[in-house]
């Protein structure tokens, strides 16, 4: 007789125990498919492991669901729904059957009458059986969706789970602007945040603690839509409602997957909204290797000015389109002093003592998918010491001074190592001001990645600037040792603390910009090889007087006005390395004029050679350099 002392429980049958053992050993995938209910012929049944059938089965139907208990994965919860139009019997016993038709679990329950609609009291009844297993890994639920009904709780939970896994989360009331204690009611971003509010925490010293939290008087907990790893995924977006700095902004999680919540550092990047992004907290004591200002690859539609404003990139040839000095070369000596040289237009390459660095044009592989980039610069080094430097000097030390400056670039390497990113302010010739460097470092990998570094560049007001050649220099300094190569492209420097998409210029625009600093009469790959095809702007002089007589000046025109009076080097046409004249005090040259010049073979004379007659033509190829 059922009373207050009656016990209700479920257990595996002997057949079920044997199949569970095989399932745990990986020898069997256990497929549980049906549940049966019975009235036990009006008795009070006690489940028996030797049972192969129910005492008196009244209904058998497919399972509605089978899943681990929410707090105990060692318990399986089987569920069946009996619709309102079935019934007319008592339910005192339950049985679970697998795909072989075997009774594998049996249970008793408090008697419950399942009425019919015809009796005037119809109802839909949910029957659940909880039974203990050692492992649920190889237990499979096979259902026929045409006959399964969903409970309201199941639907609610399913919808909530689906919504919580979406990248766009419910909005946060405020977002942090610096590290906070994750406990108690407090003011954040100038707003008193009440208990129960959602907060975007994005600036913790330990970035693994960043995320979405619910404020409480005690310790904060992560919000239900961002409290497990499967709900916190790359690209997560959240809007912020209130705050002095972050009101009406949108933030994106830019950490690459896979993410393990509470272990993986989480980095949030300003994505959109009305306000300028919150700058990083300038507390170097809380920085790890001074890398907090390093941001992963990200492009934002917002900057201190609209993104449709062109020429925001202060560098020239940042995508390595122009190669007037040739498509390859080498700098440094295997057994010698450090050395620097220009490679691709505007870019200087440095190699340390007893080391060499080969530089070359690299067509970008298709799978790199770096916007519109066509070429990269490859730097291959070997020898003693560490790394190489790649740098470009930008005219005027006032450039971007006194504000936040963002440097972005794509880079990969054959051997992972650290690369420093440095901004150097040089105050020019005869200045008493020392160079001022600011910088940080990034960790290079073997795949292309966009690196974004934001630095605070000092002001230059009241600084002692020199008489000429002051500049801002961008330096990428590799710290790797031994032999390895590094590829780089799409280098950009811009005002503000957000990296916008790379500012592509046409080939013609980039070429004209480069001509201000370097120009040549050669069209070929190497500046000293002109015999493989026609050149342009070759200096031509036609003899107008008798041999050995003084001649009028030789004139040539540059395509672009130079930064300063350039240094000229002259070459005999068709020769590979015959420099025949260089600027000097004895043989001066101006912007467009070479005075009284004549060449016979490799010798130099100010008069036409003996035996020449008027109409004799002299051609000279040349380079003109006006670099900083």
Compute how many other C-beta atoms are within 10 angstroms of the C-beta atom of residue 536. 9
- The gap from C-alpha 472 to its chain's centroid, in whole angstroms, comes to 27
Task: Report how far residue 528's alpha carbon sits from residue 520's, in angstroms, rounded to the nearest whole number.
Answer: 10
Cα angle at 327 between 321 and 333, to 5 degrees?
130
Contact 495, 311 (CB under 8 A): no
Q: Look at residue 20 in the predicted model and tell me its pLDDT.
A: 85
DSSP code, position 65: E
Token pair for 46: 């006690």
Query: Which H or E run contains 455?
Result: strand 449-456
Locate the domains of the chain by residue range.
10-149, 174-278, 328-506, 516-628
Contact 471, 402 (CB under 8 A): no
Task: Report how far residue 477's alpha carbon sits from residue 204's, in angstroms, rounded to the nearest whole number.
Answer: 29
C-alpha closest to that of 128 among 75, 188, 87, 187: 75
- Specify the 3-state DSSP secondary structure of 354: coil
Q: Look at residue 366 in the predicted model and tell me its pLDDT.
A: 63
Domain 328-506 fold is Jelly Rolls (2.60.120)
Q: Look at residue 159 in the predicted model and tell me its pLDDT.
A: 65
Low-confidence ranges of the chain (pLDDT < 50): 136, 138, 140-148, 278-310, 524-536, 574-606
Token pair for 185: 């009611």
Token pair for 238: 């959240």
Q: Look at residue 593 in the predicted model and tell me its pLDDT.
A: 33
Beta strands in 146-246 (DSSP E): 174-175, 186-188, 191-193, 198-201, 211-214, 221-222, 237-240
Furthest C-alpha separation in the chain: 138
Q: What are phi and psi of 515, to 5 degrees?
A: -65, -20
Compute how many other C-beta atoms are within 10 angstroms of the C-beta atom of residue 71. 6
| Antiparallel, parallel or unpaired: β 174-175 and 198-201 | parallel
């Amino acid at each position: 007789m059922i009373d207050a002392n009656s016990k209700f429980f479920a257990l595996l049958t002997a057949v079920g125990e044997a199949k569970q053992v095989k399932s745990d050993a990986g020898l069997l995938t256990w497929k549980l498919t049906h549940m049966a209910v019975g009235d036990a012929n009006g008795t009070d049944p006690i489940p028996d492991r030797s049972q192969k059938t129910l005492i008196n089965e009244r209904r058998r139907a497919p399972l509605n669901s089978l899943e681990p208990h929410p707090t105990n994965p060692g318990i399986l919860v089987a569920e069946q729904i009996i619709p309102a139009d079935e019934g007319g019997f008592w339910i005192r016993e339950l049985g679970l059957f697998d795909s072989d038709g075997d009774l594998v679990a049996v249970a008793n329950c408090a008697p419950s009458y399942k009425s019919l609609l015809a009796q005037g009291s119809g109802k839909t009844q949910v029957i659940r059986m909880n039974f203990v297993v050692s492992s649920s890994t190889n237990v499979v639920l096979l259902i026929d969706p045409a006959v399964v009904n969903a409970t309201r709780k199941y639907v609610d939970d399913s919808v909530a789970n689906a919504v919580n896994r979406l990248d766009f989360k419910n909005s946060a009331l405020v977002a942090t602007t610096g590290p906070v204690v994750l406990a108690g009611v407090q003011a954040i971003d100038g707003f008193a945040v009440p208990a129960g509010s959602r907060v975007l925490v994005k600036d913790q010293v330990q970035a693994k603690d960043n995320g979405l939290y619910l404020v409480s008087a005690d310790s904060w907990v992560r919000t239900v839509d961002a409290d497990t790893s499967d709900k916190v995924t790359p690209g997560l977006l959240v809007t912020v409602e209130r705050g002095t700095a972050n009101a009406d902004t949108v933030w994106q999680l830019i950490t690459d997957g896979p993410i393990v919540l509470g272990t993986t550092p989480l980095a949030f990047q300003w994505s959109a909204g009305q306000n300028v992004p919150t700058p990083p907290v300038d507390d170097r004591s809380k920085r790890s290797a001074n890398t907090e200002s390093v941001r992963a690859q990200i492009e934002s539609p917002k900057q201190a000015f609209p993104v449709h404003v062109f020429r925001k990139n202060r560098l020239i040839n940042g995508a390595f389109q122009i190669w007037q000095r040739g498509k390859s070369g080498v700098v440094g000596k295997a057994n010698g002093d450090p050395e620097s040289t220009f490679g691709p237009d505007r870019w200087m390459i440095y190699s340390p003592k007893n080391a060499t660095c080969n530089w070359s044009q690299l067509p970008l592989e298709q799978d790199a998918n770096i916007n519109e980039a066509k070429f990269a610069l490859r730097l291959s080094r070997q020898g003693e010491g560490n790394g190489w430097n790649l740098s470009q000097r930008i005219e005027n030390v006032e450039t971007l001074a006194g504000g936040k400056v963002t440097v972005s670039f794509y880079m990969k390497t054959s051997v992972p190592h650290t690369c420093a990113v440095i901004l150097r302010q040089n105050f020019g010739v005869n200045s008493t001001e020392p160079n001022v460097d600011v910088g940080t470092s990034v960790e290079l990998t073997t795949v292309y990645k966009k690196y974004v570094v934001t630095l605070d560049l000092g002001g230059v007001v009241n600084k002692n600037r020199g008489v000429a050649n002051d500049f801002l220099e961008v330096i990428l300094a590799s710290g790797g040792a031994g032999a390895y190569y590094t590829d780089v492209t799409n280098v950009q420097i811009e005002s503000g603390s957000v990296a916008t998409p790379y500012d592509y210029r046409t080939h013609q625009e980039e070429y004209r910009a480069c001509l201000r600093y370097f120009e040549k009469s050669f069209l070929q790959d190497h500046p000293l090889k002109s015999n493989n095809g026609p050149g342009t702007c070759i200096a031509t002089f036609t003899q107008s007087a008798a041999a050995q007589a003084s001649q009028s000046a030789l004139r040539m025109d540059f395509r672009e006005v130079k930064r300063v009076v350039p240094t000229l080097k002259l070459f005999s046409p068709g020769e590979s390395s015959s420099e025949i004249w260089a600027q000097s005090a004895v043989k001066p040259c101006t912007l467009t004029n070479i005075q009284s010049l004549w060449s016979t073979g490799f010798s130099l004379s100010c008069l036409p050679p003996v035996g020449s007659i008027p109409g004799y033509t002299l051609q000279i190829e040349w380079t003109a350099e006006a670099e900083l």
